[in-house]
Structure formats: C-alpha cells, structure tokens
Chain A
Amino acid sequence: MTEPLKTQPLKTEPWSPFSYIVTNLARFVEPGDVAFSGVNSSMAMLACLLAKRAYDFPFTYINVAGGVDPEPRYAPLSSSDPELARESASIFANEDFYDLCARGRMDLCFLGAAQIDAQGRTNVSVIGDWHEPKVRLPGGGGAAVMLPTARRSCTWRTEHSTRTLVDRLDFITGGGGMYGVVTPIAVLVKRDGRLRLDSWHPDVTVDEVVDRTGFELDTSGAAPTRPPTEAERAALASLDPDGTFERDAKIRG
C-alpha cells in the first residue's frame, strides 16, 4: 500500500466531527430518491433536511412523523416530532413507509446502529450475550426488516473504534448490510459485499482510520473527503443555529 497522503492544511475553517457526519450522510442522497429518516435519528433527520436545503436536485423526503417533503420551521430535538410533518400534503404513517420498504420501493433508508461488521450488518440489540446482557440497547426497530429490503441503507456512528466497527457482532439485529457508514473520521461504502474506505476526514490519516477499525479495511481508491461546500455549511448552520444538536451529540473526532 502506498504511503497515505499527508494531511493538507485546510484553507477553510476546521470541519467538526458533527458536521462531518451530517454532511456526509446527506451526500448519500441521490436525485430522485425516496429517502427516509426514523425515530431516535437526529443525525439522519438533519442530513435529509440539509440535503433539501443544500442540493438543487429533486428527491422525496419521508419521515417517521408521517411527513412527505415537509417544511419544518426548525429541526426538532425529537426526530419523530410532529414538526416534521408541517406543510406536508399527506400523512404517510408508520405502516405505510414500512410496507413501502418491504416491497422494495425505499431508495435510501437511514438507520441507527451500535455495532457494524465488515458486511455492513448491524447490532442495535445488546452488548454481550442476548440472554446475559451487559447493556440492553434499543432493539430491533427498523434494522431487521428495513436493512434487507431497502435499496440502500446508511448509518452513522459517533465513535469510530474497534468497539463500534467490529469483526464480530455480539448479535445480528439487521442482516442485508449497510451501503454506507459515516463516522467522525471516515466514510465507508460497500463494494462487492464488503465495506471499504471511500474517503477520510482531511485531519486524520488513512493509517489511523485502519487502526481504529475492528475489521480489515480495504483502502484502495480512497481519497480525502471533499470539504463541505458553502451551501452545505449554510444549510447545517440554519438547522442547528445555536449548536444544540452539536453539543448534545458529544462527538469526539
């Protein structure tokens, strides 16, 4: 493997881990997508709202509050808040969006995860043995059904470590596998059935990303992540004007 590129000093302001995650999640949205954000998913909600504000292509944003291309006045702390259905012309409720996903019509589904393995499978159920839990996590939720049925699923972790990106999951909640994963320091994308390094935060090295990943990581073809555009920065600033989401997320790079 070639020596990783030396970090280029950025001319722009530093790219916070919070902004890095939200912005790179938003970049998974493609023109024409039906994209979904669910409960307990502030980062995904912000990413979808950011994509709506920063990108000039059309896509459909649906969410767990029943909203279809809503126009919330602000980003609510709860990612299932009724504010996310404001100005929506329909209510596309829980059974509707699950059925949509089940029949293969959900293009992009954002789902939370505690542990992720090399195939992009996830554990959101338990740390330790399921029957002797060290930590009981939120549970099956969307993952077990949406991960295998959505066209593309993406997730985020606020910690990039061998505890979160693991060689072996404590429990397989969701099979099928993530298409994309964003951490505070890297973007992973699935190719030929495995997550590979797609790009890395300009402030870290490829070696650091590899060291902090619990499974073997192919880095060929990866490049430093493109810095945020003015439109992306402005959109995120408008969604988190007083920095509440960034503070509550408590992310270290």
Chain B
Amino acid sequence: MADGTDTASKIVSLRELAALVPDGASVALGGSFLHRGPFAFVRELIRQRRIGLEIVKQSPGYDLDVLCRAGAVAKAYTGIVAMEGNFGLAPWYRRAVERKEIELEENACYSLTSRLRAAAYGVPFQPVAGLHGSDIPALNGWKEIPDPYGSGRSVWVVPALSPDFAVLHAPEVSEHGDVRILGTPHWDRIMSRAAKRVLVVAERIAPMESFREHPEKTLVPHFMVEAVAVQPQGAWPGSCHPDYAIDYPAVEHYMSEAESTLQAHLERAPELRGSSRD
C-alpha cells in the first residue's frame, strides 16, 4: 500500500508504522522544536534500532537530538537546531556534528523549504530569495543564475529534495487518514507534498462527519496518506495543540548527561503505557 487511495482503514500500530521505514531512509519530520513533532514515532525508530537515517527538518530539536544520541543518524538537512524553551543547544546533535559522526547540510529554513518546494512542484530546482552575502550557498555548491527574463537580478537556485518519508504528528485524523492540524501547520504541508510517502501519528480518530463539515481544516487528504497510528500523548515531551503543553520536567530529565538517561527517558514515554504501541 505505497499510496493511500484505498479507503479501507489505514490504522496500524505505532510499531508497524515505524517498521515501514528502513535503515538509511530519508525522513522529513513534522512540527517545530518542541511542538507537535512525531516524537513517539522517533522513539520507536530507536527501539527498533534503526541506523543510517537522513533527517530532513527546518527546525528540529529534541527529535534530531535523541536520534543522534541513539546513533541512528547518518545525515541531517536542517535550518536551525536547538532544544528551545531556554534549554539552549541540542547537545547530542552538536557533539555528533563536532565529532563528524553525522554529515550536515546546513540550510536556511527557507532554502530547505525551497528544496522541498522544488520536489512538491515537480521541478528540478527552485529559486530562493535572500542568501546573498551568505557563505551557505558555496558550502552546498548551490548555483546563482541570472533572471532569464532580463530583470538584471540574479537568484540562487537550490536542487529538489524529495524525502522518502514525511512523518507528521496530528491531533486528529479520520479513519481513512485525512489529517487535521489545529493551530500552525509549521512546515508539515510542504513536507507532505514533497515526500514520496506520508505516515501520520495522531492523538485520536475524529468522526468522518467532522471532516466533511470543515474540509478546509484538513491539511493532508487521505489519498496522500499511507498509514496512521493512533498514539495519545505521542508528541511528548513536546506539546500538541490544543491537547497538551510541553512537559518541561521531562525535557530537563532528558538533558541529563548520565549514561542511563536515554534508556530511562525511553522507558518513561507514554507509548509504553497501555497497548497502543502494538
């Protein structure tokens, strides 16, 4: 079921959902910093000992950091990486880059968005505003081209980037996989259009009727979604608007340097309570 056109139920367990992503896959992760990220999914990738992942996200934090801490990452395409919420830099990501354990493609958030836009728009590259005077384009071998219509301006162009997967966390889905985001979609929309396959973790299934009543609130229609896992508190220790806020004590615990912290943190996760993971 590589596409989502079958309207039979797409609901699978979190374990099955994560198992769809093989070692070495490129994965765009939804949300931003500590907000509405597919964090239960990320932890499940770690439990399944995934390695060699390429992570694509304009503003990752905890998700990229915990994946680096577990040794699951080969490469990151990022705009800005930090824990936020006054926790500062993402320490395990930072170390992984400094020790060259992972490869980094440093972007502006907007250049990475433009790379995803090229993929979403079906073109090989995308012009992107700004970037003039920055060392970033040369770092990545990007090209600057003259306006072919003769304005005399030049523009940087960035190549298309189509991740193997976009994985989003949403408060609500329909049983067929329609995805409803409440509040800001962050970068989720362009990720869902650029990626080859879309997987979703949701807090709950909402009635089909509520989607028909407000179709404009649906960010991703079901036919684009391959599979969905229902996982309450799945964005922990981050927030999922409007259901819950950041669990700051849990993030503080995660930041502890102790060797045993990662395991303890993974064991405290909500997806291990109840049977939803399976």
Contacts and interface: CB of A to CB of B under 8 A. Distances in A.
Partners in one complex: yes
Interface of A: 39-40, 42, 64-66, 77-82, 85, 91, 93-95, 98, 101-103, 121, 124-125, 130, 133-149, 171-176, 245, 248
A144 B108 contact: yes
Nearest to B246: A78
Contact of A40 (B33, B111, B130, B190): B33
A152 to B, nearest CB: 15
Contacts of B3: none
A63 to B, nearest CB: 10
29 contacts: A39-B84, A42-B86, A66-B184, A77-B85, A78-B35, A80-B35, A81-B246, A82-B242, A85-B184, A91-B184, A94-B32, A94-B187, A125-B136, A136-B93, A136-B94, A136-B98, A140-B80, A140-B111, A141-B59, A142-B109, A145-B129, A146-B110, A148-B130, A148-B131, A148-B133, A172-B135, A173-B136, A174-B134, A176-B132
Contacts of B130: 101-102, 144-149, 176
Contacts of A138: 80-82, 89
Given A66-B184, A81-B246, A135-B94, A39 B32 contact: yes
B209 to A, nearest CB: 24
Closest 3 pairs between A and B when the two form their complex, measured CB to CB: A175-B133, A141-B80, A66-B184
Contacts of A85: 183-184
A88 to B, nearest CB: 9
Contacts of B187: 94-95
B183 A91 contact: yes
Given A140-B108, A141-B59, A65 B189 contact: no
Looking at chain B's contact residues, the main secondary structure is loop
Interface string B81-105: 1101110010001100110000010
B32 to A, nearest CB: 6
Contacts of A148: 130-134
B106 interface: yes
Contacts of B109: 94, 98, 140-142, 145
B35 A81 contact: yes
Nearest to A147: B130
B185 A93 contact: yes
B120 to A, nearest CB: 11
B131 A141 contact: no
A171 B138 CA distance: 12
Contacts of A121: 133
Contact of A82 (B86, B132, B133, B184): B184
A149 B187 CA distance: 20
A102 B110 contact: yes
Contacts of B108: 140-145
B162 interface: no
* Listed residue (B108, B131, B187, B241) with the most chain A CB atoms within 10 angstroms of its CB: B108
B26 interface: no
A147 B108 CA distance: 11
A149 B153 CA distance: 14
B80 A39 contact: yes
A138 B76 CA distance: 13
A172 B186 CA distance: 26
B106 A39 contact: no
Contacts of B1: none
A98 B186 CA distance: 12
B174 interface: no
Given A94-B58, A95-B113, A138-B80, A144 B131 contact: yes
Interface in B204-259: 239, 241-242, 245-246, 248
A94 to B, nearest CB: 6
Interface in B127-161: 128-136, 139
A145 B84 contact: no
B34 interface: yes
B32 A77 contact: no
A40 B82 contact: yes
A146 B132 CA distance: 10
B107 interface: yes
Contacts of A245: 86
Nearest to B241: A82
A27 B185 CA distance: 31
B79 interface: yes
A46 B79 CA distance: 23
